[in-house]
A and B are shown apart, each in its own frame.
Chain A
């Protein structure tokens, strides 16, 4: 784990969910953290540079963003990488994971809308010569990556 001091930790705890949308957001954060605006900016820069933070900014709602679908495929292990390469070449594929299961390839197909999504899935099925296990999202119960970070436990491990 990256070395983080107390201010870094308090900053992440307080602002992993919501940054203030006020005129001087870093000054407002500084006030709450008992630090200076310059310190907050410097910490954010350092945390980004060390990749402890992936981004400081808006998180967009991907569910509203066009059409997408989780798909899986069962292929013999010996052919897995070649099939994965074919999937990755296909337009719209933006995640592809090998997983330990008979269904060993898992990827997300995306498109601007449902019509284009269907066309892309059909084209890929034709190229691969087998149907995909299609797993569209029916309902999302929790799509928020913020969770309390147990710093003390992380320190010990």
Chain B
């Protein structure tokens, strides 16, 4: 049985920040743990950086437009909302259809991540990874059944890999690369 919070892919430490303009980098570092909950959070973020609130907002908008920031949100902890079961499902899908079907099944309720990855034959035939979240293992299995029907004949085989233990999970934390001047 899985006991995981929503899995998130990593934020590798140095590379991400090194690609940014120094002030954008300071804004990322100042906001990555969350915004200050005050009426004008942008001015509060900008003050120690010598930036006005509207400059912080303009920079964040540019980072949204360029894709560095995906969104600004009140991010729920799905585990605390009762989504206590997760299953990494892996599917062997016909290469001719995997792209179309990957996009289709990504919209099914319960799906958080959907990725195409390479096969390693003969031991690993699965090329589509779909992370499912439910309130119980039964619900995850029902979601997997919905996926199986949607994939139809293009899918040769699949497995659900439940996590039995979290051996390491580091939070999302960006750090400056060591020794790099600001």
B6 at interface (Cβ–Cβ under 8 A)?
A: yes
Query: What's the least CB distance linking B54 to chain A, in Å?
Result: 7
Q: B38, B54, B162: which contacts A100 (Cβ < 8 A)?
A: B162
Whether B9 and A59, one on each chain, are in contact in the complex, defined by CB atoms closer than 8 angstroms, is no
Q: How far is the CA of A19 from the CA of B3 in the complex (A)?
A: 29
Q: How far is the CA of A1 from the CA of B136 in the complex (A)?
A: 13
B22 at interface (Cβ–Cβ under 8 A)?
A: no
Q: How far is the CA of A68 from the CA of B4 in the complex (A)?
A: 21
Instruction: Please indicate the chain B residues that have their CB under 8 angstroms from the CB of A21 in the complex.
Output: 57, 60-61, 64, 72
Q: B8, B37, B161: which contacts A62 (Cβ < 8 A)?
A: B8
Closest to A140 in B: B115
Closest to A114 in B: B15
Instruction: Please indicate the chain B residues that have their CB under 8 angstroms from the CB of A32 in the complex.
Output: none
Q: A2, A44, A106: which contacts B88 (Cβ < 8 A)?
A: A106
Q: How far is the CA of A65 from the CA of B4 in the complex (A)?
A: 23
* Tally of A-B Cβ pairs under 8 angstroms: 269
Residues of A in contact with B, size category: 35 or more
Residues of B in contact with A, size category: 35 or more
Main secondary structure on B side of the interface with A: mixed
A residues 37-88 touching B (CB-CB < 8 Å): 37, 41, 44-45, 47-48, 50-68, 70, 72, 81, 84, 87-88
Closest to B64 in A: A21
B51 at interface (Cβ–Cβ under 8 A)?
A: no
Instruction: Please indicate the chain A residues that have their CB under 8 angstroms from the CB of B111 in the complex.
Output: 142
Whether A142 and B163, one on each chain, are in contact in the complex, defined by CB atoms closer than 8 angstroms, is no
- Given known contacts A88-B167, A92-B12, A95-B7, A18 and B177 CB-to-CB distance under 8 angstroms: no
Binding site for A on B (CB under 8 A): 4-16, 18-19, 28, 31-35, 37-42, 53-54, 57, 60-61, 63-64, 67-78, 80-82, 88, 99, 102-103, 105-107, 109-118, 120, 123-124, 129, 135, 159, 161-170, 172, 174, 177
With A23-B54, A58-B28, A142-B111 known, 17 other A-B pairs at CB within 8 A are A11-B74, A41-B38, A47-B74, A52-B76, A52-B81, A58-B71, A60-B28, A60-B70, A60-B174, A63-B9, A64-B16, A97-B163, A99-B164, A112-B177, A134-B120, A141-B114, A146-B73
